[in-house]
Structure 1
Amino acid sequence: MSIEQLELNPRIIKAVNNANIGVARDILKFSGPDLQRLTRLSASDVHHLQTAVAALFCQKPPVSALQLYRGECPEWDCGLRVSLGCPVLDGVLRGGLLPWGLTELAGPSGAGKSQLAMQLCLSVQYPAQYGGLGSGALYICTEDSFPIRRLKQLQNEQPSLRSDVPPDVVSSICFSDNIYVEHAADLGALMACVSQRVPVLLAQGRVRLLVVDSVAALFRSEFQADQGLERSRHLTAFATALHKLSASYQLPILCVNQVTDVMEGDSNHDAGLRPVDSKVVPALGMAWANQVMVRLMVTRLPGAVSMGTQSSARRRLEVVFAPHLARDSCLFGVWREGTRGLPSPPTQDASS
């Protein structure tokens, strides 16, 4: 779009044309002082120019933190959460996942990441009053084949796990019909899925949750150690595509991530980006960490816990960072019916 099509004072338009800036989008490439120097306009004129161009490309006005705090933007804070299907786990997350934005779930192999991801794919199908969004889920696999047998077991055990939901509500949901599985063997297939097939399902209202398991697998395997800049470029493009989907469709996105060891003396992962007292950090470094809104970490701990005739390894879910959550954690186990949090041990009175 040319500058002449903007509703601006002809004097401002003439000054911009004299500076050989004929396309409105090019205005966004310059800072205010640079535009003043190029066009010889006043600071007030430049402000009007930038405001007009910004309004052209940003149809929705920006939302401030104060507006969110006052509850003046219900479309961004509608109170909905995607439950993890367990009151203990939901308690750490203040009800569950936010219904938009990128949430990372990182942890070593066998920590329970895929178990939690599959449980969310079932939970999102419940009505809103039971912690769901009343729609299906898309599960993109980039590593192993999808664990369909475990999903069927979780589906059959929903009446046991979700005792808070009336049995007729549970029985009315065809869980397996609402989970779409896609396998991406390389980055090209992953980007094609995210940019082409996912929007079709979203536009049809068939899914309200996207799971990528895992985000690190392909970026680790397709780039060598000396290709860090190229990997960061592709990683940023992928994250940008996810952010656009989340913003356009109010879509919660769960990205499962691998971990890497922290080298002794390495300070690149400080400032609250890793779990407390952890010797591993989520993979893909700062290039990925800056794209994530919420970072959760799961770890497998020594020992086991029992529940009836079942036993499970002890695991911990920790909130590493989130804009709406304090750092917190809880223990959990993986059982036949699904993932359940373990009640916190009673605190001992120091005076006793």
Structure 2
Amino acid sequence: MANMVISEMGLPKWIANIFAARNIVTAKEALSLTEFELMEFLDVGLAEVTSAVAHISEIVCPPYQTALLLMEQRVQNEHLAGHLPTRLKGLDEALCGGIPFGVLTELVGPAGIGKTQFCLKLSLLASLPASYGGLDGRVIYIDVESKFSSRRMIEIGMKSFPEIFHMKGMAQEMGGRILVLHPTSLSEFTESLQQIKVSLLQHQVKLLVIDSMAALVSGEYEQGAPRQHALGWHVSFIKSLAEFSRIPIVVTNQVRSQSRDEACQYSFQAQRWDDTKEDRTRHDSHLVAALGVHWAHAVTIRLVLESKSGQRFIKVAKSPISPPLAFPFNITSSGMSLLSDDGFELTGPDINTIHCQGHNDIINFVGESLQ
């Protein structure tokens, strides 16, 4: 709009000719000057300049939109973009269908809480045939900490979708659709990103999982500015992958203790340090998501997995379409299972504080600890 030609805007011919004679051709060139500069440059009066600028501005200015129209457009875009259903009814309803396409969804939680279990189930759901509610595609699973277990994945499939996995050769076919990478450093991961971008199209990939992003940088950078700088390019690239491929991208993140200075600076992230001793015990360890505030702004959906008094919860801590909600869950032989589809709404520090009480007794069903 800014490059529209002034001579085609319907101005009186005489003023349009003056603009042309002074080599002011586009709306951008005219509006880049003040009215007094135009008066001097065009050698006309203030009234004529004001009228011309108002006319040009009215034509190139984007039209107004109502809040109702913006909301309707967003709902339509969400519907067209698509979702990967998690098969967790309450969570899918809160997210208007599941894990959204085209954006970053982050899973945050302490070790052993169930992040990888959730990612394994999502990988199966993305690879399932469309006739069974899946995306009928391949999955790229970036396994940074060597937590991926094909045995556990097949167990989840057998328990969750027995009608599929008991068919001859189906377990092998599903397993063959999940491509697992094991980068050992951030630099190695960086080198593979361009190939991943090509693979997203060549192999009909319908889900990208990075488990975990924090582990990629923990061995190379300390917490703080160097890490933020190192991640800046990667965040931009991964976000562009999501927008380019229009698939869901799920990234797991670790937790860390929050210092007192950070608590004062970012009071929205955790319980304040000036609480009473009783409150400190209740909110035990002042844990927050790793990778910092800049990373937090980059993700569209943040799901926090935590444990309080031995009960595990998954909560929607950040979402443009859902209020902060928490759902109690268990890890079973078929993966994550909600104990209630009716989430309860969170307020205040509970939205971002991450609790870590009594979850060390989680075990899986093949004799290995869950991660």
TM-score clears 0.5: yes
CA contact (8 A) 2:258 2:286 kept: yes
1:147 aligned partner, one-letter code: S
**Structure 1 residues 185, 337: closer, same or farther in 2, change over 3 A?**
same
Equivalent of residue 280 in structure 1, options 283, 287, 294: 287
User: Which residue of 258, 264, 269 corresponds with 1:267?
Assistant: 264
Q: 1:298 aligns with which of 297, 302, 305?
A: 305
1:112 aligned partner, one-letter code: G
Q: Superposition pairs for residues 44-55 of structure 1, below 5 Å? A: none
SS at match of 2:124: helix
CA positional deviation for 1:158: 3.1
Question: Given residue 107 of structure 1, which amino acid in structure 2 is its aligned partner?
Answer: G
Offset of residue 209 of structure 1: 0.9
Which residue of the partner structure matches residue 110 of structure 2? Answer: 108
Q: CA deviation at 1:48?
A: 8.1
- Residue 318 of structure 2 aligns with which residue? 321
Could you say which residue in structure 2 is the equivalent of 1:233? Answer: 229
Query: How much does 1:118 deviate?
Result: 0.8
Give the 3 Å change call, closer, same or farther, for CA 267–346 of structure 1 in structure 2: closer
For normalisation by structure 1, the TM-score amounts to 0.70
Structure showing greater Rg: 2
TM-score in terms of structure 2 length: 0.67
| Cα offsets for 1:145-173 (capped at 9, x unmatched) | 5322222322333325xx8x9988x9599
1:114-133 equivalent positions in 2, closer than 5 A = 114-126=116-128, 131-133=133-135
Q: Take 2:144 and 2:165, find their aligned partners in 1: how far apart are those partners?
A: 36
2:66 and 2:191 mapped to 1: Cα distance? 34
Cα distance in 1, alignment partners of residues 23 and 215 from structure 2: 53
| 1:309 corresponding residue in structure 2 | none
Shift of 1:282: 0.5
More helix by proportion, 1 or 2?
Answer: 2
Q: Do the aligned residues in 1 keep the contact of 2:128 with 2:134 (CA within 8 Å)? A: yes
2:253 matched to which residue of 1?
257
Flag the 1:247–1:260 CA change in 2: closer, same or farther, 3 A.
same
SS of match in other structure, 1:224: coil
**C-alpha spacing 1:153/1:229, structure 2 compared with 1 (3 Å):** same
Structure 1 pair 201/9, CA: closer, same or farther in 2 (3 Å)? same
Counterpart among 213, 216, 224 of residue 215 in structure 1: 213
Task: Check conservation: 2:126, 2:207, Cα contact below 8 A.
Answer: yes
Cα deviation, 1:186-233, whole Å, max 9, x if unaligned, reads: 122212222x121222212521111111111122321135xx333222
Cα 1:115/1:346, change in 2 over 3 Å: closer
Q: CA deviation at 1:267?
A: 3.0
Change (3 A) 1:79 1:126: farther
1 CA distance for matches of 2:135 and 2:69?
25
Deviations, residues 80-127 of structure 1 (Å, cap 9, x unaligned) = 321223324434434311122011100000010000011100111235
Distance 1:177 1:166 in 2: 13
Partner of 1:80: 82
Distance 1:191 1:67 in 2: 41
Moved more, 96-105 or 86-95: 86-95
Q: Give the distance between the partners of 2:56 and 2:220, measured in 1 at CA.
A: 46
Contact residue 158 and residue 165 of structure 2 kept, 8 A:
no
Question: What is aligned with 2:185?
Answer: 186
Is the 1:209–1:251 contact (alpha carbons within 8 Å) kept by the matching residues of 2? yes
Secondary structure of 1:176's counterpart equals helix
Give SS of 2:134's match: coil
The 2-side partners of 1:131 and 1:243 are apart by: 26
**How far apart, CA to CA, are the structure 2 residues paired with 1:343 and 1:75?**
29
8 A Cα contact 1:126 1:135, kept in partner: yes
Q: Which amino acid in the other structure matches residue 82 of structure 1? A: L
Residue 95 of structure 2 contacts residue 321 of structure 2 at CA under 8 Å; is this kept in 1?
no
Query: Is the counterpart of residue 340 in structure 1 residue 342 in structure 2?
Result: no
What is aligned with 1:98?
100
Q: Distance in 2 between matches of 1:291 and 1:239?
A: 7
Q: Look up the match of 1:141.
A: 143
SS in structure 1 at match of 2:264: coil
Q: Quick one: structure 1 residues 213 and 72, their matched pair in 2 at CA, closer, same or farther if it must change by over 3 Å?
A: closer
- The percent of aligned pairs where both chains have the same amino acid is 27
Given the superposition, is the C-alpha separation of residues 77 and 89 from structure 1 closer, same or farther in structure 2, using an over 3 Å criterion?
Answer: closer
What amino acid is the match of 1:208?
K
What is the CA–CA distance in structure 1 between the aligned matches of 2:105 and 2:343, rounded to whole Å? 30
The residue number in structure 2 matching 1:20 is: none
Aligned to 1:316, what secondary structure does the other structure show? strand
Decide whether the 8 Å contact of 1:235 with 1:287 is kept in 2. Answer: no
Q: CA, structure 1 residues 344+106, in 2 after alignment: closer, same or farther (shift >3 Å)?
A: same
Partner amino acid, structure 2, of 1:281? V
